[in-house]
């Protein structure tokens, strides 16, 4: 029934105001209760940041624990890492920073235990911990099924070897694989058909390999890939598909994050296709360093968003210093390290005076490794050179590469009298194997079949 009494009509707003006031009172009481609870419960973790996967390859990786309130400096007291690992601990504002001063062990469960977080204003306390597992020690090799001109036999395989757990995984198999690139998240293989035409196959775990386009039917070499950059690249010589362009050792990039993307030519300072003699991705970034046909080193944004920048004529591009973004270059004067963050260049101790050939690499700022067909030697500044490993009877050492962490070496060994497999651009010795050894002690971690370890870049 519709109310007609003025009295009832006037009382309705009053009842509304009383109800609204009651609701506001309840909300205020609830907010007060929540605030009291928040003050009583102690600091709570909002987020933990830091790439723990890098702890096996880089020193100085930082894990930051962020809380919901400012912390008293005493919150750093009693923080421990299990198993024990050297670290610097800092409390600043509402964050606890744990900076690992050395690399961590592979395939190991770690815990950062914080027994007492104390609120700076409230004085209340709480405890927390953060657990993570470091990546396994892995190396990927190319296992060829025989000579290039074989009419039967096994396919070539790209195999990732998990040395921490003793497991192998075939990433791609194909009749003839010239070279490959494994960025950890995916792998791309350069295959050669019976007519000598290059083809690219790209795959990720759990996916079937798919074809990747190239500019034309020309020659593809120096294949590289980077999950950090989200790109793969290669050097191409030949005509474009429509015949309108002819390329000579031109560097091309392809975005692996977009299915069906087309290759894009990298241009140099003059706006022309960059003729490239050697190149590598900068670890942990979208950039790459390329060496031009004239010998200059150039820093290039793989996405094409930024213009290239000249680094100078500093010598032959060798590698990156393990665990850093510093470039190792070699010249008749010896080996040097170029710091891309500061632009400074420093000579590597013990390599001056020439005579440093391709059989030398830099494993740290004060240590180098050299090799001959019979042995691998490590030299450290201020100490006598030491033999890391020797070739076994009936074998010779063909190549040595350093792991991304600098803690291990991949030593390529070849049986005496082994024949060449006859691949057109990346021929190798049949029966070649790879020994993974500790870079300091020389202890052999494992021997795996195959050649072209991914550590060799």
In a domain, 274, yes or no: no
Q: Any idea what the CATH number is for the domain that residue 109 is in?
A: 2.60.40.1220
Site of tokens 């025989």: 146
In a domain, 121, yes or no: yes
In a domain, 204, yes or no: no
Cβ contact 188:212 at 8 Å:
yes
Least confident residue range of 38-52, 395-409, 420-434:
38-52
- Residue 383: pLDDT band by 50, 70, 90 thresholds? confident
Mean pLDDT along residues 295-308: 95
What number of other Cβ atoms are within 10 A of residue 102's Cβ? 11
pLDDT per residue over 10-26, tens digit each? 444 444 443 444 444 44
Q: For residue 437, what are the contacts with CB-CB under 8 A and spacing of at least 6?
A: 376, 388, 389, 408, 409, 411, 443, 444, 445
In a domain, 73, yes or no: yes
Q: What are phi and psi of 439, to 5 degrees?
A: -70, -15
DSSP code string of 50-117: --GGGGGT-TT-EEEEEESS-B-GGGGTT-EEES---EEEEEETTEEEEEESSPPPTT-EEEEEEEEE
What residues pair up with 64 in beta bridges, in sequence order? 49, 97
In a domain, 91, yes or no: yes
Highest mean pLDDT pick, 94-98, 151-155, 255-259, 301-305: 94-98
Structural domain harbouring 79: 45-133
Count: domains in the chain: 1
Mean pLDDT along residues 44-50: 96
pLDDT per residue over 103-155, tens digit each? 999 999 999 999 999 999 999 999 999 999 999 999 999 999 999 998 888 99
In a domain, 107, yes or no: yes
Q: Answer whether residue 97 shows pLDDT above 60.
A: yes
- Residue 39: pLDDT band by 50, 70, 90 thresholds? low
At residue 27, the pLDDT reads: 44
pLDDT per residue over 202-247, tens digit each? 998 888 899 999 999 899 999 999 999 999 999 999 999 888 899 9
In a domain, 382, yes or no: no
* Mean of the per-residue pLDDT values of the chain: 89
Q: How far is CA 183 from the centre of its chain?
A: 7
Query: Which of 61, 54, 65 is CA-nearest to residue 134?
Result: 54
In a domain, 335, yes or no: no
Cβ contact 228:281 at 8 Å:
yes
Q: What are phi and psi of 352, to 5 degrees?
A: -75, 160
At residue 237, the pLDDT reads: 96
Mean pLDDT along residues 308-333: 93
To the nearest whole percent, how much of the chain has pLDDT over 70? Answer: 90
Cβ contact 368:421 at 8 Å:
no
To the nearest whole percent, how much of the chain has pLDDT over 90? Answer: 76
Mean pLDDT along residues 39-59: 90
Q: How far is CA 128 from the centre of its chain?
A: 30
Q: Answer whether residue 52 shows pLDDT above 60.
A: yes
Check residues 8 and 340 and name the one with the higher pLDDT.
340
Does the CA dihedral 80-85-88-94 come out positive or negative?
negative
Dig out the tokens for 69 from the structure. 């309130």
At residue 84, the pLDDT reads: 97
DSSP code string of 270-327: TSSB-BEEEEEEPTTSSEEEEEETTS-EEEEETTSSS--EEEE---EEEEE-TTSSEE
């Amino acid at each position: 029934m519709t109310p007609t009494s003025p009295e009832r009509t006037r009382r309705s707003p009053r009842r509304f105001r009383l109800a609204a006031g009651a609701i506001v009172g309840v909300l205020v009481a609830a907010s007060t209760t929540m605030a009291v609870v928040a003050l009583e419960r102690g600091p709570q973790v909002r987020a933990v940041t830091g790439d723990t996967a890098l702890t096996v390859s880089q020193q100085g990786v930082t894990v930051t624990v962020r809380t919901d309130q400012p912390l008293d400096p005493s919150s750093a007291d009693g923080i421990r890492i299990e198993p024990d690992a050297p670290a610097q601990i800092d409390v600043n504002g509402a964050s606890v920073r744990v900076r690992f001063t050395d690399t961590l062990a592979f395939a190991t469960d770690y815990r950062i235990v914080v027994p007492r977080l104390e609120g700076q204003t409230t004085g209340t306390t709480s405890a927390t911990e953060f657990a993570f597992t470091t990546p396994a020690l892995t190396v990927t090799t190319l296992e060829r099924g025989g000579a290039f001109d074989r009419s039967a036999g096994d396919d070539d395989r790209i195999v990732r070897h998990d040395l921490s757990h003793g497991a192998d995984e075939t990433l791609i198999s194909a009749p003839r694989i010239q070279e490959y690139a494994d960025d950890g998240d995916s792998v791309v293989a350069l295959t050669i058909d019976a007519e000598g035409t290059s083809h690219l196959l790209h795959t990720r775990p759990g996916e079937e390999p798919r074809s990747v386009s190239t500019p034309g039917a020309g020659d593809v070499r120096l294949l590289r890939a980077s999950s950090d950059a989200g790109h793969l690249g290669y050097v191409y010589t030949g005509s474009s598909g429509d015949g309108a362009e002819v390329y000579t050792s031109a560097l091309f990039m392809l975005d692996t994050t977009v299915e069906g993307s087309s290759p894009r030519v990298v241009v140099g300072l003059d706006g022309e296709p960059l003729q490239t003699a050697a190149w590598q991705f900068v670890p942990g970034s979208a950039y790459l360093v390329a060496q031009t046909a004239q010998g200059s080193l150039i820093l290039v944004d793989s996405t094409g968003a930024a213009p290239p920048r000249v680094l100078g004529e500093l010598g032959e591009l060798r590698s990156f210093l393990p665990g850093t973004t510093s470039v190792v270059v070699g010249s008749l004067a010896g080996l040097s390290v170029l710091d891309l963050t500061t632009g400074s260049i420093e000579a590597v101790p013990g390599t001056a005076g020439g005579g440093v050939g391709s059989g030398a690499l830099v494993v740290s700022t004060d240590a180098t490794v050299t090799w001959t067909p019979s042995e691998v030697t490590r030299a450290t500044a201020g100490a006598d050179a030491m033999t890391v490993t020797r070739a076994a009877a009936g074998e010779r050492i063909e190549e040595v590469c350093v792991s991304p962490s600098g803690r291990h070496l991949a030593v390529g060994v070849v049986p005496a009298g082994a024949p060449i497999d006859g691949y057109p651009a990346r021929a190798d010795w049949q029966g070649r194997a790879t020994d993974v050894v500790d870079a300091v002690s020389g202890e052999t971690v494992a021997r795996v079949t195959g050649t072209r370890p991914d550590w060799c870049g």
